[in-house]
Structure 1
Amino acid sequence: MKRRAAVIGLGHQAVEDHLPGLLGSARAELVAICDNNPDTLRERQGTLHVPGFTRSGDLLDAVEPDFVIIAVPHYAGRSVVEQCAKRGVHMMKEKPFAISPAEARELAHVCRAGQVELMVTLQRRFNPIYASVLGLLDQIGTPFLIDGQYTFHTNTPGAGWRGDVKQAGGGCIIDMGYHLIDLLLWYFGLPSRILAEFSATAVPDAGYNAEDTAVIQLGYGTNMYGSVLLSRWAAPKTEKLHVVGTRGSLLLAEGQVQRLDLAGAVVEQLTRPHAPASAATAQIDHFCRVLDGERPNTSGPEQHLAHAAFIASCYESKTAGRYIDPKELL
C-alpha cells in the first residue's frame, strides 16, 4: 500500500520537483495540496484532481496524511514543522532545515518530542554522480585544496521574501548555497574555520539586504583549505567542486565527475547525460523506506545542525571580521 502524501507550498520547487516526484513514485501517492494563494491552489487542483487547502492545519486535520512535503518560504517553515510534529505527521522539508542554529536545535527537539521523521530534501544525494565522489576521493591521495563554485544570473536577485534577511535568514549562502555546503559536509565534514565576505549590491538601490554574492574561505584541521564562490548574479551558470590532492584531483560538475592526474589529464570519467529527472522520486521513495524501517535517515534534524552552524559562521565571521569555528555554534 502506498504512503499517503501531501504537498504544502506550491511554488517553483514543488511544481518542478516534488509534485512530479510524487506522481512517479512507486511507494507514495499524492492525496492533497496546500497553498495560501487561492488562485495558485485552483490552478493546481485543475490538473492534479486532489483536495486543496489554503491552511496547512486544515489539510492535516482533514486528510491525515502519512507525510507531507514542505516547500514554503524560509520564514514559514517552522510553523508547518511544529503543526506536523504535533499531529505525528512525518515530513520531507525543502532546505534550509532552519534559519539559525537556535531554531535548528528547537526544531530537532520538536521532531524528537513528536516522534516523527523529518528529512531535508537535497536532490544531489540521490544522484549517482555525486554519490560516486567519495570513492574517487580515495584515489587522489591526500586532498588539501578545495575550489567550489555555484553561480547563476537572475535579473532580480533580491526579489520578494528572498531579498529580506529577516524572512529568508540570509541570501545566497543559506538558500542556493545550501546545496554546495551539503556536499562539503558530506565529503569532508564540518570545517574548523570559516571566513566569509558577501554583499547585496549587484542591483544598487533595489532595496534588498540579503546577499546576492559571497566568497567563503574555509579550513580543516588536517591542513586542507579552500574557497567557495556563490552568486545569484554572476553569469554563466556554473556548478563545480574541484578537489586537489597529492596524487591528482577530482572535478565534479553538473552531470559529470572526472578524476585527473597531476598534469590535469583525465584518468577516469563518469557521466549521466541521458538521466531522467529521477532524483525527486528517488528521494520520496527513500523517505518511504525510512518510514518503513528499511533505510536510515541520513538527512535528518541532527545532521542539519552542522549545516546551520556552517551558515551561521559565515554571517558571524563577516560581523566579527575574523575566522569562526562552526563547531562552537553547535
Structure 2
Amino acid sequence: MSDLLRLPLATKGDRSRSATKLRAAVVGLGKQALEDHVPGLLGSDAAELVAICDENDAVLREQQYRLQVNGYANVEAMFDAEQLDFVVVCVPHDAGRQIIEAAAGRGIHVLKEKPFATTLSEAKELAKECERAGIHLMVTLQRRFNPIYTSFHQLADQIGTPFVVDAAYTLHIADPSEGWRGHVNRAGGGCVIDMGYHLVDMLLWYFGLPDRILADMSINARPDRDYDAEDTALIHFSYDSGLYGSLLLSRFIGPKTEQIRLVGSKGIVHLERGRIQRLTNDGEVVESLAREQAWPSAAVSQVNHFCRVVEGLRPNVSGPRENLAHLSFIQGCYESARTRTHVNPKEL
C-alpha cells in the first residue's frame, strides 16, 4: 500500500493554501477522531482539514472520500508531503510519542488526544522535546471549553468552606480485555490513565494537586478474560487545607455516569455532563445551568483556541508542563495501589 492514497476527488493539487486558516491533519481515525476532532476541525473558522492518516486501508479510503482530503498510510510521508501548521494525534497511547517527536522535528504543532504520555518520565522528556523544537502542544481536554464546567468556580464561591469532594466517571464495556486498551504495555494503564484523565484534569483544575493519594484497583471484573489494565479504581485524595474526597473510575460499572459533587458549609455544587447545580445542604436546588449540544461546540472551541495559541493570541491551558501534574497524580495512583500506602504526588 502506498503512503499516499489518492482518490479522483481528493488530490494535493486540488487544494490551495488558505490565507486565513491554519492547515491541519488528523492521525488516527478512531471513534474519538471521527466524533470529536474531525467535526471540530470542519466547524472551525480558524483551521482547515487538509489531510488524514491511518494504518487501516479501508477506514482511510472511506474517510478520505467522505472528507475530500489527502489520505496517508504513513505519518512521516504525510509530514513530508503536506504543508501543515498542526496535527491532531488520536492514536493508541504507546504510539503517541513517536508522532509527537516526528512533528516536533518538522516544527509542526500538536493537538494531542489525552493522555499526554504513558508515564511521568515520558511526559518530562516530551515536554523538553517540545520546548527544544519551539512547538506548541496542547492536550485535548474538551471540558475546559464547555461553559458548564467553567461555571464551577463561580458556584463554588457561594457554598462557604468546601470540605469534601465526591467524583465518579463510570461506563460499561462488556469485555475490558478487548483491543489495546486492555493491556498496560500499549495503554500505559487502564481506567485511571485513559477515561480517568478527564476527571483528574477537573480535580486539578478546580482544587490543585492533592497532598496525599490512596488508591485501590481491580482487574477482576471479567476473571474469564486476559487483561492487565485496571477496569476499576477507587482513589482517595486529600489536601493539607482540610479538603478531602474520593474518585471512582470504572470501565465496567454501568450506566455511564460522570459527576463531581463539592460539599461546603453553606451548600453543594453538583456537576454532571451537561448540567451544573447549586443546592442547599438539604438538597434543594438554588440555581441550575444546563447546556444542549455541548460536546460538538466544545470540540470546535478547542480547535479555535489552539489555533489562537499557535498564533500567540491565547495562553496554552493544557500544555506539556501543565500535564506533568496530571501524570504525577496518575503515577501516584499506580504507586499507591502497588505499595498499598499513601503517596504524595507532589514529591514525584
TM-score class, shorter: over 0.9
Cα deviations across residues 211-267 of structure 1 (Å, max 9, x unaligned)?
A: 111100000110111101111111111110000011111000111111111221111
Instruction: Tell me, in whole angstroms, the C-alpha distance in 2 between the residues paired with 1:314 and 1:65.
Output: 37
Is structure 2 residue 338 aligned with structure 1 residue 319? Answer: yes
Matched with 2:11 is: none
Instruction: Tell me, in whole angstroms, the C-alpha distance in 1 between the residues paired with 2:127 and 2:118.
Output: 13
Matched with 1:301 is: 320
Is structure 2 residue 77 aligned with structure 1 residue 44? Answer: no
Matched with 2:124 is: 105
Is structure 2 residue 155 aligned with structure 1 residue 136? Answer: yes
Tell me if structure 1 keeps the 8 A contact 2:163–2:264. yes
Is structure 2 residue 94 aligned with structure 1 residue 66? Answer: no
Matched with 2:37 is: 18
Matched with 2:254 is: 235
Matched with 1:91 is: 110
Partner letter of residue 305 of structure 1?
L
Structure 1 residues 273 and 48 mapped into 2: Cα distance closer, same or farther (>3 Å)? closer
Partner letter of residue 191 of structure 1?
P
Matched with 2:241 is: 222
- 1:1-330, aligned counterparts within 5 Å? 1-273=20-292, 275=294, 277-329=296-348
Instruction: Tell me, in whole angstroms, the C-alpha distance in 2 between the residues paired with 1:225 and 1:122.
Output: 24
Report percent identity of matched pairs: 57
Instruction: Tell me, in whole angstroms, the C-alpha distance in 1 between the residues paired with 2:173 and 2:293.
Output: 27
* 1:302 alignment partner, SS class: helix
Q: Which runs of 5+ in 1 are unaligned?
A: none
* 2:271 alignment partner, SS class: strand
Instruction: Tell me, in whole angstroms, the C-alpha distance in 2 between the residues paired with 1:206 and 1:262.
Output: 44
Tell me if structure 2 keeps the 8 A contact 1:158–1:212. no
* 2:342 alignment partner, SS class: coil
Instruction: Tell me, in whole angstroms, the C-alpha distance in 2 between the residues paired with 1:279 and 1:310.
Output: 25
Cα deviations across residues 23-68 of structure 1 (Å, max 9, x unaligned)?
A: 1110101000000111211111111111111111111110020000
Q: Which runs of 5+ in 2 are unaligned?
A: 1-19
Instruction: Tell me, in whole angstroms, the C-alpha distance in 1 between the residues paired with 2:141 and 2:119.
Output: 18
* 1:144 alignment partner, SS class: strand
Structure 1 residues 276 and 167 mapped into 2: Cα distance closer, same or farther (>3 Å)? closer
Instruction: Tell me, in whole angstroms, the C-alpha distance in 1 between the residues paired with 2:55 and 2:88.
Output: 15
Partner letter of residue 45 of structure 2?
A
Instruction: Tell me, in whole angstroms, the C-alpha distance in 1 between the residues paired with 2:294 and 2:240.
Output: 38
1:275 Cα deviation (Å)? 4.4
Instruction: Tell me, in whole angstroms, the C-alpha distance in 2 between the residues paired with 1:211 and 1:274.
Output: 32
TM-score normalised by structure 2 residue count? 0.93
Instruction: Tell me, in whole angstroms, the C-alpha distance in 2 between the residues paired with 1:277 and 1:120.
Output: 17
Cα deviations across residues 121-155 of structure 1 (Å, max 9, x unaligned)?
A: 01111100000001111111111100001111111
Instruction: Tell me, in whole angstroms, the C-alpha distance in 2 between the residues paired with 1:274 and 1:111.
Output: 34
Instruction: Tell me, in whole angstroms, the C-alpha distance in 2 between the residues paired with 1:274 and 1:239.
Output: 17
Instruction: Tell me, in whole angstroms, the C-alpha distance in 2 between the residues paired with 1:323 and 1:56.
Output: 42
Instruction: Tell me, in whole angstroms, the C-alpha distance in 2 between the residues paired with 1:36 and 1:134.
Output: 42
* 1:293 alignment partner, SS class: coil
Partner letter of residue 215 of structure 1?
L
Partner letter of residue 109 of structure 1?
K
* 1:278 alignment partner, SS class: helix
* 1:209 alignment partner, SS class: coil
1:205 Cα deviation (Å)? 2.6
Tell me if structure 1 keeps the 8 A contact 2:39–2:296. no
Matched with 2:17 is: none
Instruction: Tell me, in whole angstroms, the C-alpha distance in 2 between the residues paired with 1:98 and 1:246.
Output: 38
